Amino acid sequence: MAKRYYWLKLKADWFSDKRIKKLRSIAGGDTHTIIYLKMMLLSLKDEGKLYFEGVEDNFASEIALALDEDAENVKLTLAFLQRHGLIEIGDDDEYQLTEVPTIIGSETASTIRSRECRERKKQLALGQEALQCNTNETGCNNLKQICRVERELEIERDKEIEKEGEGEGEKDTPALAAYGRFCNVFLSDAEINGLKSELPDKWEYYIDRLSIHIASSGKKYNNHAATIYKWAQEDAGKATPKKGIPDYSSYSEEDSL
């Protein structure tokens, strides 16, 4: 399973909410507000849920231990949150922060890498465009057309990645990351590890070879890892002389046939 990162998506007017303004107005309000924010961050991976595990005598003391905050301040914060409907106590010592499920942001590590790779590619293309425009107007127009097509393709890839992210929980589809000189070879963590294991000296060569081929020909492949394995097998077959046929290239002029 690909590693996933989480964050809070606070609204621009979050601090203008009357409940938050009330929390900040009481004695030690800024401390209580920070405790509330730290509790929300602590609950992200469980969609806003916190659990009392019995490490301390009560929930407030246990949360204070986890957050490195004063237990009495945490107790007062919990009382305020419960009174204003920001936290609910469920069964089995489960505490639900009611706002968190609607403000969670998340993204897989491979999606982050793919986006960063596309961004580097875009910056490189823009730099080449600026340089070309200074010397050749026709070349500049051609490059602009190429960059426009690439940007349209990037938008389509972003949509596909978003769809993959939405379906990860249902289909458990392995996340793909972009590799190769042109960031257009897509492999899962398992596939890249398999290539490194089975083609230890040539996996990078085959990835770049496929990347250049896709960029220059515009061809599409259903499975990039399978294509690389196919090419590797074909190359290995070409390198092995056929049985019964001598390899004359290995003979010198002095050899007698």
pLDDT digits (tens, 9 = 90+) for 58-90: 999 999 999 999 999 999 999 999 999 999 988
Bridge partners of 106, per DSSP, are: 6
Least Cα distance to 232 among 196, 206, 193 occurs for 206
Residue owning tokens 């990162």: 5
CA–CA distance, 52 with 43 (Å, rounded to integer): 12
Retrieve residue 83's tokens. Answer: 């009174």
Least Cα distance to 206 among 222, 177, 226 occurs for 226
pLDDT digits (tens, 9 = 90+) for 94-135: 899 988 888 877 655 555 556 566 676 667 666 665 555 555
Selected residue with higher pLDDT from 148 and 41: 41
CA–CA distance, 209 with 211 (Å, rounded to integer): 5
DSSP string, 51-65: E--SSSSSHHHHHHH
Q: Are 109 and 3 in contact (CB under 8 A)?
A: yes
Contacts of 16 (CB under 8 A, 6+ apart): none
Q: Is the pLDDT reported for residue 257 higher than 50? A: no
pLDDT band for 253, please (50, 70, 90 cuts).
very low
Q: pLDDT value at position 18?
A: 94
Residue owning tokens 């960063």: 116
Q: Are 179 and 207 in contact (CB under 8 A)?
A: yes
Q: pLDDT value at position 113?
A: 59
pLDDT digits (tens, 9 = 90+) for 191-244: 888 898 899 889 989 998 998 888 888 888 889 989 999 999 988 888 765 554
CA–CA distance, 254 with 257 (Å, rounded to integer): 9
> Within its chain, how far is the Cα of 244 from the centroid?
52
Q: pLDDT value at position 158?
A: 65
